[in-house]
């Protein structure tokens, strides 16, 4: 099963993707995680991407497509994958379609995670990430036991530069301009499934699973 998860920054794509990994046994492919890893490792791709990420802008298509192409060829993605954070533009979606067609793999579904702008701002401005293990917390909804310290490994928690209010607003503006057109793009292909994810997490997760129920049985 080959799935795309998309929605505004902070919609919870990564969280829902992790649940889908457990249920369906296919890997989550997060371009955000791959790009941050490249930055941390100091690779040439990482250096190129870093300046764009700091400003909350999209990393150039060629860079992201290169990463995705390499990743979906790995053995663990042979039976399918969950793309989280890619494609972000219609040209990227076109490139992905061509790539998958060439590999004799077609998308099964595209899930659009839907939440309000207010929820997004609360989630992202309150998010804190461990500098060591990458565990995620929220100062409003999921606090660590000790302020500023990771429960799992005891290292410092930080607010990522792209989670600061001014950057978030810029990211949302970029999303509306560049990524929102994917709704119409995939709807016309009959792949789009909208999932309302406001409210209690367990209920929202149930709606995500329900949206994929028929796809999983194919």
Strand arrangement, sheet containing 157-158: 136-138, 127-130, 157-158
**Residue 156 within a domain:** no
Residue 139 forms part of a structural domain:
no
Question: Measured between alpha carbons, how far is 33 from 14 in angstroms, rounded to an integer?
Answer: 10
Please determine, for residue 35, whether its predicted confidence score (pLDDT) is greater than 60.
yes
What confidence tens digit (pLDDT) does each residue in 172-185 have?
998 999 999 999 99
Question: Do the domain assignments include residue 29?
Answer: yes
Name the residue range of residue 20's domain.
2-115+164-217
Task: Give me the pLDDT at residue 48, please.
Answer: 80
- Highest mean pLDDT among 14-23, 35-44, 94-103, 182-191 belongs to 182-191
CATH number (domain holding residue 183):
3.40.50.300
Which band of pLDDT confidence, cut at 50, 70 and 90, is reported for residue 217?
A: low
Give the CA distances from residue 64 to residues 30, 35, 53, 176, in Å, rounded to whole numbers and listed in that order.
Answer: 11, 8, 12, 19
- For residue 89, being part of any structural domain is answered with yes
pTM over 0.85: no
Give the rounded distance of the alpha carbon of 186 from its chain centre. 17
- Into how many domains does the chain fold? 1
Query: Domain for residue 213, yes or no?
Result: yes
Is the per-residue pLDDT at 38 higher than 90? no
| pLDDT score at 104 | 87
Active site (catalytic) residues:
13, 88, 127, 160, 171
């Amino acid at each position: 099963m080959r799935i795309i998860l998309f929605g505004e920054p902070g919609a919870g794509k990564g969280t829902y993707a992790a649940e889908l990994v457990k249920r369906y046994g296919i890997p989550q492919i997060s371009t955000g995680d791959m790009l941050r890893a490249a930055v941390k490792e100091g690779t040439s791709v990482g250096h190129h991407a870093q300046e764009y990420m700091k400003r909350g802008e999209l990393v150039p298509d060629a860079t992201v497509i290169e990463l995705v192409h390499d990743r979906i060829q790995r053995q663990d993605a042979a039976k399918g994958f969950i793309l989280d954070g890619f494609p972000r533009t219609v040209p990227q979606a076109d490139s992905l379609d061509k790539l998958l067609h060439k590999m004799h793999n077609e998308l099964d579904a595209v899930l659009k995670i839907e939440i309000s702008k207010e929820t997004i701002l609360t989630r992202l401005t309150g998010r804190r990430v461990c500098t060591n293990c990458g565990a995620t917390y929220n100062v409003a909804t999921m606090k660590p036991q000790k302020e500023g310290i990771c429960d799992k490994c005891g290292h410092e928690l930080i607010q990522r530069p792209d989670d600061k209010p001014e950057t978030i607003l810029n990211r949302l503006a970029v999303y509306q301009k560049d990524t929102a057109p994917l709704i119409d793009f995939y709807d016309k292909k009959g792949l789009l499934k909208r999932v309302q994810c406001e409210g209690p997490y367990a209920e929202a997760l149930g709606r995500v699973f329900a949206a994929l129920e028929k796809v999983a049985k194919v």
